[in-house]
Amino acid sequence: MNRKLTLPMLLAGALAMGGIMSVAHAEEPAAVAGAAAEAKVIITADKSFRMFFEPAELTVPVGTTVTFSNEDGSNHKVNFSDGTQSDRLRHGAVYTRTFTAPGEYPYACAIHPKMTGKIIVR
């Protein structure tokens, strides 16, 4: 008799024999937005006045709106490699962008080019 094994049959057999099954999964990215369609990137500086985006890399699902919030004392301008950019962000200002297509969206501060980051949309 030639029977086709199904996942429930395999699970039941493994449990009956006391075996342990593990399912491989992809490694989680450093920062992943939750199921909500909103995420945040903070523009900040450390004690040495080194300015940066936190997190520098953010992975979000398609349709997520990312808010960039300037929480340091300098002005910034978020400049994406696809040509999209924010207005000048003074302290306390925010900029939002909704990501409607999968891909990688690198960006930098147009005023401080050493400040870089990337949004990964899946």
Residue 8 lies in a domain: no
* DSSP conformational letter for 74: S
Domain count, the chain: 1
Residue 99 lies in a domain: yes
* DSSP conformational letter for 32: B
Residue 68 lies in a domain: yes
Q: Which of 13-22, 34-43, 69-78, 109-118 has the lowest mean pLDDT?
A: 13-22
Q: What is the CATH number of the domain that holds 58?
A: 2.60.40.420
Residue 13 lies in a domain: no
Residue 15 lies in a domain: no
Residue range 101-116, pLDDT digits in tens = 999 999 999 999 999 9
Q: Residue 104 is part of which domain span?
A: 29-121
- Distance, in Å, from the CA atom of 10 to the CA atom of 44, rounded to the nearest integer, reads 51
Tokens linked to 70:
């300037």
Residue range 24-64, pLDDT digits in tens = 333 344 445 445 589 999 999 999 999 999 999 999 999 99
Threshold 0.75, pTM exceeds: no
Residue 113 lies in a domain: yes
Residue 20 lies in a domain: no
**Residue 37 contacts by C-beta under 8 Å, 6 or more apart in sequence?**
61, 63, 64, 65
Residue 98 lies in a domain: yes
Helix (H) or strand (E) holding 106: strand 103-109
Q: What percent of the chain has pLDDT over 70?
A: 70
